[in-house]
Structure 1
Amino acid sequence: MDILTILRQDYARFPIDQSYDIYAEDVYFQDPLNRFRGVKRYRQMISFIEKWFEHPTFELYALDRVDRAITTRWALSWNTPLPWKPRITISGKSELVVNESELIVSHIDYWDCSPFDVVKQHFRG
């Protein structure tokens, strides 16, 4: 199965049963809140989302590949476990780079909003 098909399937069932074997052991990950190396740490981040966020969904709008660069457009949504259960949404894009073995060596997420905008979503009327 090619990596684009695997990514489509992972987005559809996120955060359950992700395909961590498509990532290099020392994969670089970055988003507006995190920056680290290693598939182990990446797994921990996804496990945190699965454990603490309610009803997380990842909607994939675009998935393109040019040579070793993969770009996605998406929206991540969840309910925060607060008494009023606000539904939070972050839209953005990911830029992935694969090596010659077709393993992801870099995964950088860009959000269309600021982290503060995400916090504000918890308190909108």
Structure 2
Amino acid sequence: MKLQIERIIATLKQDLPTLFAKDISYNIYTEDIFFRDPVNKFQGKFNYRIIFWTLRFHAKLFFTEIAFDLHDVSQSAEDTILAQWTVRGILRVPWQARLFFNGYSTYKLNGEELIYEHIDTWDREPGEIFKQFWQQGEKM
């Protein structure tokens, strides 16, 4: 494993668990990074920064508790890094609805060993995740 890939993996391991609380490092991404998840698709580092700002903003606004549990980050191919994770939280509603879903992020590296593509895959459809907002949370 090259030193740069080890640095990218270390950066992801440091950044991802706290992405709802503080900003990530952007020096491991290309200027024209492409991002896609089940509800968003865009290109460019400015837009990439906006998505993380939006995640932090909505986390503070809509949740009393929210966590990004990072399970593993590893190199799955010469030009690919895979991160497996879970998002869980308690919505700021009287019935304390709980949000929970698993997913993984696939990061593709270019010749300069910077991330040029970030694709998120979720374990369920966005509508199924959204339905959790109306379900009664467990009593504390």
Q: TM-score, normalised by structure 1?
A: 0.90
Secondary structure of 2:120's counterpart equals: strand
Aligned residues: 125
AA paired with 2:97? P
Unpaired segments of 5 or more residues in structure 2? 1-5
Deviations 1:18-62 (A, max 9, x none): 011211110000000001101111111111111122333211112
Percent identity reads 32
Unpaired segments of 5 or more residues in structure 1? none
CA distance, structure 2, for counterparts of residue 8 and residue 49 of structure 1: 18
Residue 55 of structure 2, aligned match among 40, 49, 53: 49
AA paired with 2:85? W
Structure 1 stretches of 4+ with a deviation exceeding 6 A read none
* Aligned equivalent of 1:13: 18
**Is residue 30 from structure 1 mapped to residue 40 from structure 2 by the alignment?**
no
Q: TM-score, normalised by structure 2?
A: 0.81
Which is greater in Rg?
2
Secondary structure of 2:52's counterpart equals: helix
Classify 1:91/1:34 alpha carbon distance in 2 versus 1 (closer, same or farther; 3 Å): same
Residue 83 of structure 2, aligned match among 69, 72, 75: 72
Please say if residues 50 and 56 of structure 1, whose CA atoms lie closer than 8 Å, have aligned partners that are also in contact: no
